[in-house]
Amino acid sequence: MEQPKADVIFREVQDLRNNFFLISVLYPALLLWYIEIHSLIFGRPAGIDNIPGTYLFALWIVFGLFPFYVVLYKAYN
């Protein structure tokens, strides 16, 4: 059964440029960048119980690179 085409009455546009969103996303990303450089490149532990390199690398990929990839993707599209 085919439904008639409806006109759009209301359209929501989400603005993700507010400060709370940027702080909540960029703080973990920048923190993981710091720990990644501190631990894997300089070889110094980032705390009392050092996290293994593979887990740190996986966390860095998910939380460190993904937010910057999303920002770059939105900037070019």
pLDDT in tens, 17-67: 677 777 777 788 888 888 888 887 888 877 777 778 788 888 888 887 887
* pTM (two decimals): 0.55
Rounded-to-integer distance, Cα 42 and Cα 56, Å: 14
Rounded-to-integer distance, Cα 44 and Cα 49, Å: 12
